[in-house]
């Protein structure tokens, strides 16, 4: 999904709940189903967004929510899409399934009465969607098979004129047809698709997706573009930095608690001031804290003392990793990559990055999954237990004297480590990595690149040795993560095309494991395949998972249902202001926070 492609460092370092693929969530017990082993207690809890208690939220009021920018398009599959495109799209457009706090799919009853797939092994695979008969677009048109057909055509890759990029599951679809009534949709796959629940969310109206030209046009908010969510667009001004959503009076589900949500473009460095002055009610503060200089703990302390503001901080869904460029000497040698990966103390890096946030310094041990996703396991043992110094000796890189930089093939083992400019969190992690690699005899120098050049001029161009950045974890890892580890293939000129695999290291075996996982309908069996793929990625020396990126959210006291979202997706219709509490005598004890609007 293009909205998840890391076109800039800011996108790389911000993991939002934009989903891709065709994931099969937890299935009911059936014969032949592989049982899940009892999972250990997770070392990390991703996000802190708990189940909403609508009874605790009063009706009415306005919420003002800081964003980086009001997006030019609400179509998450277009090149211009941003994380904000996804945030607003999920308040305005249908999604057949929603990820829960652990990244597993649950049907959204507002749009889906039921859905089922043919049993595993029965071909062709057919998924039948039973749409909520009350679900309609804002122009009164019911959701129907026509919307599914048009979106699949735009995202399948079959039309060379289409510039949209969709999950691989759309390309696996053979046909879509109406079922026994207008509310039944049958999707037939040409090849098995285990991750099918991630498709058709967001679902766009057929008029917006029926042709390549229509799908390629920016999709701004406005009455000319039908939506189907708990909110409607009341004002949409990307240039002015304001998008206003209002309660949809024709919504068939549980009504939105807030009358209005205003999304306001506010620079990161101004958000604490705007919160303190009462001009914002929700504000992501991660970037402001990370760019606060050498002491983010002090920035957090100041943010935590703002009057009338509650600070949420938790592990986010961004998986920070040290990536090794296998196309640059001496990292072309897998033995050198494995030795350097073995030399990195992940707990050292995690502690350096997370301690200022007051978060558990839990190292990450999986390339594909967050620490509390089903199937997570620390696979670092796949590197073996050999001493990294001995591994480098055997690879031909020896120390001329104690404490000196290793040499081999007539050169020093000297490398650069690229980090995004301004991120104190990644800078601290980089310094920990430098110390670890230095102890093993590698001289590493940290360099910085601005956000707009980090990916374009360095990662994508292959102009780096080592790099620190984050990939987002998500509920469809077989499809979402496959391009990150896919073996580069020769392009028209014969040179390998890296695509999203910035490490430029891959194998046919890893590709086959991802392919099998994407087609596996049984969740435990799919997790076992992803586990095997992760072990092979470790052994390849592709990259070193370090920790989950911390996230900070400032919330005005009285706002209910807000928090660090993690792997889940907030129901914006449940977000609002706390209902007043009453004393035993029946009087109002707390009227909550007054709001404007």
In this prediction, residue 79 has a pLDDT band, given cuts at 50, 70 and 90, of confident
Give me the pLDDT at residue 41, please: 62
**223 — phi, psi (to 5°)?**
-65, -20
Q: Is the pLDDT of residue 158 over 60?
A: yes
What is the rounded end-to-end Cα distance, in angstroms, of the chain?
36
Q: Is the pLDDT of residue 313 over 70?
A: yes
Is residue 135 within 8 Å of 204, Cβ to Cβ?
no
Residue 578 to residues 95, 169, 253, 564: CA-CA distances in angstroms? 27, 41, 21, 18
3-state secondary structure at position 593:
coil
DSSP string, 224-286: TS---SSEEEEEEETTTTEEEEEE-TT--SSPPSSSEEEEEE--GGGHHHHHHTTS-SEEE-H
Give me the pLDDT at residue 578, please: 96
CA angle, residues 477, 312, 570, in degrees to nearest 5: 50
In this prediction, residue 11 has a pLDDT band, given cuts at 50, 70 and 90, of very low
Q: Is the pLDDT of residue 597 over 70?
A: no
> Residue 152: which residues within 8 A CB-CB, separation 6 or more?
170, 173, 176, 187
| Nearest-angstrom CA–CA distance, 320 and 324 | 13
**188 — phi, psi (to 5°)?**
-105, 130
Give me the pLDDT at residue 294, please: 60
Neighbours of 43 (CB within 10 A): 16
Q: Is the pLDDT of residue 293 over 90?
A: no
| Nearest-angstrom CA–CA distance, 363 and 545 | 8
In this prediction, residue 40 has a pLDDT band, given cuts at 50, 70 and 90, of low
Exposure string over 118-146, b if 16+ CB within 10 A, otherwise e: bebeeeebbbbbbbbeebbbbeeebbbbb
Q: Is the pLDDT of residue 164 over 80?
A: no
CA 241 from chain center: how many Å?
A: 24
Residues counted in the chain: 597
In this prediction, residue 497 has a pLDDT band, given cuts at 50, 70 and 90, of very high
Give me the pLDDT at residue 560, please: 94
Burial status of residue 96 (CB atoms within 10 A of its CB: 0-12, 13-18, 19 or more) = buried
Is residue 325 within 8 Å of 343, Cβ to Cβ?
no
The lowest-confidence range among 12-26, 46-60, 204-218, 364-378 is 12-26
Cα torsion through 404, 408, 410, 415, rounded to 10: -70
CA angle, residues 515, 517, 520, in degrees to nearest 5: 110
Give me the pLDDT at residue 512, please: 98
Is residue 465 within 8 Å of 457, Cβ to Cβ?
no
Is residue 450 within 8 Å of 291, Cβ to Cβ?
no
Q: Is the pTM of this model over 0.95?
A: no
| Nearest-angstrom CA–CA distance, 281 and 277 | 10
The arithmetic mean of pLDDT across residues 325-344, rounded, is: 98
Q: Is the pLDDT of residue 279 over 60?
A: yes
CA 142 from chain center: how many Å?
A: 31
Residue-averaged pLDDT of the chain: 89
| Nearest-angstrom CA–CA distance, 216 and 77 | 9
The lowest-confidence range among 39-53, 165-179, 200-214, 242-256 is 39-53
Helix (H) or strand (E) holding 393: helix 388-394
Neighbours of 416 (CB within 10 A): 16
Smallest CA-to-CA distance from 552 within 277, 305, 308, 303 is with 303
| Nearest-angstrom CA–CA distance, 562 and 576 | 9
Q: What is the pLDDT of residues 102-152, one digit of tens each?
A: 999 999 999 999 999 999 889 999 999 999 999 999 999 999 999 999 999
pLDDT higher for 539 or 29?
539
Q: Is the pLDDT of residue 430 over 50?
A: yes
pLDDT higher for 597 or 261?
261
Residue 98 to residues 18, 69, 104, 239: CA-CA distances in angstroms? 10, 25, 8, 31
Smallest CA-to-CA distance from 549 within 4, 69, 11 is with 11
The arithmetic mean of pLDDT across residues 43-70, rounded, is: 92
Domains identified in the chain and CATH numbers:
49-79+86-265+567-582 (3.40.190.10), 317-550 (3.10.105.10)
Give the strand pairing for 466-472 and 414-420: parallel
The arithmetic mean of pLDDT across residues 46-72, rounded, is: 94
């Amino acid at each position: 999904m293009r909205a998840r492609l890391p076109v800039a460092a800011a996108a790389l370092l911000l993991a939002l709940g934009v989903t891709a693929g065709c994931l099969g969530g937890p299935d009911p017990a059936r014969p032949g189903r592989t049982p899940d082993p009892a999972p250990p207690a997770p070392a990390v809890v991703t996000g802190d967004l708990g189940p909403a208690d609508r009874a605790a939220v009063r009706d009415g009021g306005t919420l003002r929510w800081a964003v980086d920018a009001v997006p030019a398009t609400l179509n998450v599959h277009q090149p211009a899409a941003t994380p904000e495109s996804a945030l607003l799209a999920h308040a305005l457009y249908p999604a057949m399934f929603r990820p829960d706090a652990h990244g597993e799919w649950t049907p959204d009853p507002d749009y889906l009465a039921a859905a089922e797939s043919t049993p595993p092994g029965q071909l062709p695979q057919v998924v039948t969607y039973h749409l909520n008969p009350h679900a309609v677009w804002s122009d009164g048109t019911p959701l129907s098979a026509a919307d599914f057909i048009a979106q699949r055509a735009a995202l399948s890759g079959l039309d060379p004129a289409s510039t949209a990029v969709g999950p691989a599951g759309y390309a696996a679809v053979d046909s879509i047809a109406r079922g026994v009534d207008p509310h039944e949709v049958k999707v037939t796959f040409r090849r098995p698709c285990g991750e099918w629940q991630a498709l058709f969310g967001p679902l766009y109206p057929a008029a917006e997706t029926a042709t390549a030209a229509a799908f390629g046009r920016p999709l701004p908010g406005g009455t000319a573009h039908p939506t189907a969510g708990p909110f409607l667009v009341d004002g949409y001004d990307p240039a002015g930095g304001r998008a206003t959503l209002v309660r949809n009076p024709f919504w068939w589900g549980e009504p939105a608690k807030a009358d209005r949500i205003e999304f306001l473009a506010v620079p990161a460095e101004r958000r604490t001031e705007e919160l303190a002055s009462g001009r914002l009610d929700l504000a992501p503060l991660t970037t402001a804290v990370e760019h606060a200089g050498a002491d983010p703990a002090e920035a957090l302390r100041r943010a935590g003392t703002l009057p009338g503001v509650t600070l949420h901080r938790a592990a986010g869904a961004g998986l920070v990793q040290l990536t090794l460029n296998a196309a640059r000497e001496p990292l072309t040698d897998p033995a050198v990559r494995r030795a350097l990966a073995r030399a990195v103390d992940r707990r050292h890096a995690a502690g350096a990055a997370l301690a200022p946030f007051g978060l558990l310094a839990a190292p990450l041990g999986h390339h594909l999954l967050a620490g509390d996703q089903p199937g997570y396991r620390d696979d670092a043992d796949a590197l073996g237990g050999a001493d990294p110094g001995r591994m480098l000796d055997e690879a031909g890189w020896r120390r001329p004297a104690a404490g000196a930089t290793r040499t081999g093939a007539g050169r020093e083992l000297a490398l650069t480590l690229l980090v995004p400019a301004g991120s104190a969190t990644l800078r601290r992690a980089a310094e920990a990595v430098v110390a670890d690699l230095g102890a093993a005899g590698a001289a590493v120098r940290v360099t910085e690149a601005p956000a707009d050049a980090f990916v374009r001029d360095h990662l994508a161009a292959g102009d780096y040795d080592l790099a620190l950045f984050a990939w987002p974890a998500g509920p469809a890892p077989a499809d979402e993560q496959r391009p990150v580890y896919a073996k580069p293939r020769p392009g028209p000129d014969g040179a390998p095309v890296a695509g999203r695999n910035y490490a430029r290291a891959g194998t046919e075996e890893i590709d086959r494991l991802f392919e099998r996982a994407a087609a596996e309908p049984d969740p435990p069996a799919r997790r076992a395949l992803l586990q095997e793929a992760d072990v092979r990625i470790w052994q390849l020396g592709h990259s070193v998972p370090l920790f989950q990126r911390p996230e900070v959210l400032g919330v005005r006291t009285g706002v209910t249902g807000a928090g660090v979202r993690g792997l889940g997706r907030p129901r914006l219709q449940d977000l609002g202001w706390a209902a007043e509490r009453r004393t035993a005598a029946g009087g109002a004890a707390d009227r909550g926070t007054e709001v404007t609007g």
